[in-house]
Structure formats: C-alpha cells, structure tokens
Amino acid sequence: MLKKILTNGALWALSFLAGIGLATLERSYAQDYSQIEASPALWTIQQGDATVHLFGTFHLLPEGVNWRNDLVNEAFAASDHVWFEADVLSPDAQASVQALIPQLGLNEPGVALSSLLDEDTRVSLAAMSASLGIPTANLEPLKPWLAGLVLATTQLQALGFDPTAGVEAVLNAEAREAGKTLGYFETVESQMRVFADLTPETQVQWLALSLEEMSELQIQMEAMVTAWATGDMDTLDAQVNGSMRDASQEVYEAIMVNRNHDWIPLILGLLEQGGTHFVAVGAGHMPGEDGVVTLLEAEGLTVTRR
C-alpha cells in the first residue's frame, strides 16, 4: 500500500519538505536500470476526429531509467493537448501546498503525533526518523498521513528517486516548450484531501504499516520501476492495487477507485471535444477491474494497447 500512496503524493510532499528545509538529501543508493528496454504501457482511443492516448506514468524516477520509445514519442508529438493528474510543479502549486498544510496536515494545537500512536509505532517512528536524519520533534505537529508521507518521501530521495526525472516533470517541460495546451483532472487541494479525509483510525493504521514496509522499500520500488518501464501491467497491478486492497479497502477506494471513476467523464469529454490528447496519469490507475482502461471499455469504447 505504501508504494502507491508514496508515488501518488510524493510530488507535492516534496513541496512541503522544501518548506521545512528537508528537500535535499545525499543519495545513499542507486540501482542500475540501464539494461531495461523501454516499453511502458500506452493505450489509444479513437472516436470520430478525436484521439486520446493514455499513458501510465511514474511520478518520481531514479537516474538512468529509459522509458522513452518510438510509440510514446510519436503519440506525444502528435498531441496538441496534454493532461496530468494535477498541477503540482508550478510555483503557484507549491505555494498552495504550503498554505494548505496547516489546514489539512497539522494536528490540533496541543496534540502531538506520538500521543496518537501505540508504543510499538512510537518506537518504530523514532527509529525511522533517526535513520533519515529527521528530528522526531519535527514530526510531532503532523497528522499521521502527512508524517508517513514525509518519512517515505525522504527515504525515496535517499534511494535516488528524483521528481525532476519523473515522467510528469519531463513531459510538462517538453509540452510547454512545444506550445501544447496543458490541462489537469484534479487540483493539489483535492489530491491532499484524499489523504486528509481518511478517518483518524485509518491514518494511524497506515502510518504503522508504512513504517513496517519502509525496510523493504528499496526492493519494492526496484520491482515497480522495472514492471512499469517494461509494460508489465499485471505485475504492477498486483504490486500497487492488490497490496492496497489487501491492506485497506478504504484507502484503495479513496486513492484509486473513486478517482478513476471521476476521470471517466473527463476523458469522455475529450473525445467529444475532438483533437489529439495525451493523458499522463499514474500507471497504477490504468490496470485492473477498477482501472481506467476497464472503466472506459465499460462505456463501450475500444481501448487499444499499443
């Protein structure tokens, strides 16, 4: 479960870390991905004079991951409009994150994070914070969902994952340079509320589970990156959606199912609008029985894997 939550919220979590001076860490590890032959999943829908390409992304990536191939490059070049989950990269978006944290990410005055946790989770939290060089006191004002995301994102950076190497950052810059129209399915606030609106009990459970999973995060992320870059959507579905369903149906529905359903009318609207569109959203949203591809097929559309 940590893997999808982490990749989903890491971009704007980094904006928060920058605000408290923890955005840059020395990398302690970097896997060699140079031997991967790029074949990430790409789907296309054609209806009348409209074409919509669906590309599953990885929000943060380590250096050396080759994810560009001719199919992706040609589909992107042919598209006049590029759509992302949300604007999380602009200065305005980063300012929004800092403004929303007090409302959505901080405990009530006088409530410390540790007071919400059992003894085992407090011990794990202290150990993980120390290993990442984050004073535990810095986490005490945070709600459990934000504390878990801060720790996991910090660890991800130490493993060499970089937002500037992520698909959204690369395609955003290229789209702007090429004069393409940019659009977004969500706002930063709506993405943050996905986490903030989880019940307090679920937030605490997720933090405890995240602390347990962090010891294996390196191996898990290596497997996820490899599955994504090679287009192995069955493995990615099992790693992301399967693990999340097993851990918490509430979290799975909030982060995946509800948002996937929300995006379907937006994609149908692109087909009605006409033109060529490139939709780049997290790869975990694409596969599975609740995935975007299946939901679009249920609307009677032919969604072709390229």
- Report DSSP letters for 162-200, one per residue: EGGGSHHHHHHHHHHHHTPEEEESS-HHHHHHHHHTS-H
- Please indicate, yes or no, if residue 204 is contained in any of the structural domains: yes
Does a structural domain hold residue 50? yes
Q: Is residue 33 domain-resident?
A: no
pLDDT at 3 over 60: no
In this predicted structure, the answer to whether residue 137 has a pLDDT above a threshold of 80 is yes
Task: Using pLDDT thresholds of 50, 70 and 90, give the confidence band for residue 14.
Answer: low
Token readout for 102 is 């007090």
Mean pLDDT check: name the lowest of 11-15, 204-208, 290-294: 11-15
The total domain count for the chain is: 1
* 35 occurs within a structural domain: no
**pTM of the complete model beyond 0.75:** yes
Region 240-252: what's the mean pLDDT?
A: 87
Q: What is the mean pLDDT of residues 134-146?
A: 95
- Whether residue 293 is predicted with pLDDT greater than 70 in this model: the reply is yes
CA neighbours closer than 13 Å in the CB half-sphere of residue 6 = 28
In a domain, 28, yes or no: no
Query: Worst-scoring range by mean pLDDT, 1-15, 106-120, 225-239?
Result: 1-15
Containing domain of residue 263, as a range?
A: 2-22+40-305
- Confidence at residue 64, expressed as pLDDT on a 0 to 100 scale: 83
Is the CB of residue 225 less than 8 Å from the CB of residue 58? yes
Residue 32 belongs to some domain of the structure? no
| Confidence bin at 22 (pLDDT 50/70/90) | very low
In a domain, 257, yes or no: yes
| pLDDT exceeds cutoff 80 at 74 | yes
Q: What is the pLDDT of residue 18?
A: 44
Residue 30 lies in a domain: no
Residue 25 has a pLDDT of: 46
Whether residue 5 is predicted with pLDDT greater than 80 in this model: the reply is no
Question: 217 pLDDT band (50/70/90 cuts)?
Answer: confident
